[in-house]
Amino acid sequence: MSYIKLITKVNVSENIGLIASELGIDYCVRAYAYSNEGADEVAFMDMKDFEDDKEVDIEKIKSIAKKSEVPLVVYGGIKRMEDVKKMLYAGAEFVYIGQAAKDDIKFVKEMSDKFGREKIGVAISLTDSNIKEFALECKKMGAGGIWFTGDPAGNERIIKDIKNAVGIPVMININENDVEKAIELQKATETDAILYTGSDRINCMEWKYAMKQAGIPVNTFESAVPFSEFKLNADGLIPCIVQDFKTNEVLMMAYMNEESYNKTLETGRMTYFSRSRNKLWVKGEESTHFQFVKELIIDCDKDTILAKVSQIGVACHTGNPTCFFTPLASKEYNNTNPLTVFNDVYNTIVDRKKHPKEGSYTNYLFDKGIDKILKKVGEECTEIVIAAKNPDPEEIKYEISDFLYHCMVLMVERGVTWDDIMKELDNRH
């Protein structure tokens, strides 16, 4: 099913011209919050497109992409291919081209051919002339989306006409915290996405619920199995095991009834039934340690729910990250996890850089600098090639381990994390 996207802008401004930093708004915090609270994508719109002396703020894009758990779209300051490449490499999923497309429409084709139409769109001002012809030409050049900047009110008919003509996703923006107006504009224009650009925080799930009630298809939590099919205990409750969606760590266990289950689906925040207080409770309503839903799964007997969540703060009322911290019985066993090992070694290297240790080979490499580190990475690459010619697999195992260690030293030196690598590999996959 095709959903209408709700996209939220993480850097906001007011008519008086204040930039986000002056308003006390942290782009990364807002991106993390919106991506947890139901936004389909977040947007960083750097309105410098017409300022020749301004460069693309790549570091800001990197920071936002690291914190966001949904795709990041960006716009602004693009003058050449290198700008687009830097944005995509920094973590942007989609890039809108503005003035550069108006200056030379072939630039759109060049970018689309280079990076793929699924990565490239064009921003078109509703105040420009011949916008339909320009939009059609952008589509012909390989644009994968059109964003109409400016106020869509009063331009509904032309937007709808262009959307039907181009046959690619079209986005409009709304600057007011007014979901009814957003619903009205979407229905009138039939656009594929709404970009909220206002400075007020909005509740994305409330917006989506209102849009859904108005008959607009949006991406909300829908239960594939009705609650009536769940097997409940004698109190009419079902246990819910809660797990961190990234680490898979078991955080806690609580109970749900039908009302709390439906509230969880509606709001995207884990809501339980308190047996001691005999009422619903939203996890984090007092502590602010909310749990945002990523996935809900029912077991084979339909008598237990597994919730994968993004945990804000800690899960346990004691202040521990998880409620399961008291050991009862254990035996020695090998629980080696490749990702855990990589992160542990990486974190040790980070610690060596921050807190040098006498006689440490890692600190020796950092002291010698980037050229020495690169030399060692190159040498270890060569050692892998030589070892691969040897039929004994033990040798290649040692050489690959040496290479990965030196590669991690390089990563720390250049500020690249395993999360960055995993996200890039996942994007390619």
> How confident is the model over 119-150, as pLDDT tens digits?
999 999 999 999 999 999 999 999 999 999 99
**What mean pLDDT is predicted for residues 169-190?**
96
What does pTM read for this prediction? 0.81
Mean pLDDT (the chain) is 91
pLDDT at 339: 76
Span 399-423, pLDDT tens digits: 999 999 999 999 999 999 988 888 7
Position 1 confidence tier, pLDDT thresholds 50, 70, 90 = low
Distance, in Å, from the CA atom of 383 to the CA atom of 323, rounded to the nearest integer, reads 47
Span 289-348, pLDDT tens digits: 999 999 999 999 999 999 999 999 999 999 999 999 999 998 877 767 777 888 889 999
**What mean pLDDT is predicted for residues 67-72?**
92
Position 17 confidence tier, pLDDT thresholds 50, 70, 90 = very low
Distance, in Å, from the CA atom of 98 to the CA atom of 102, rounded to the nearest integer, reads 7
**Residues with Cβ within 8 Å of residue 398, at least 6 apart in sequence:** 387
Q: 37-55 as b/e, with b when 16 or more CB fall inside 10 Å?
A: bbbbbbbbbbebbeeeeee
Distance, in Å, from the CA atom of 90 to the CA atom of 428, rounded to the nearest integer, reads 14
pLDDT at 54: 66
Counting every residue written for the chain, the total comes to: 429
Asked whether residue 152 carries a pLDDT value surpassing 60, the answer given is yes
Q: Where are the beta strands (DSSP E) in 177-249?
A: 193-196, 238-244
Domains of the chain: residue spans and CATH:
5-213 (3.20.20.70), 227-311 (3.10.20.810), 339-428 (1.10.287.1080)
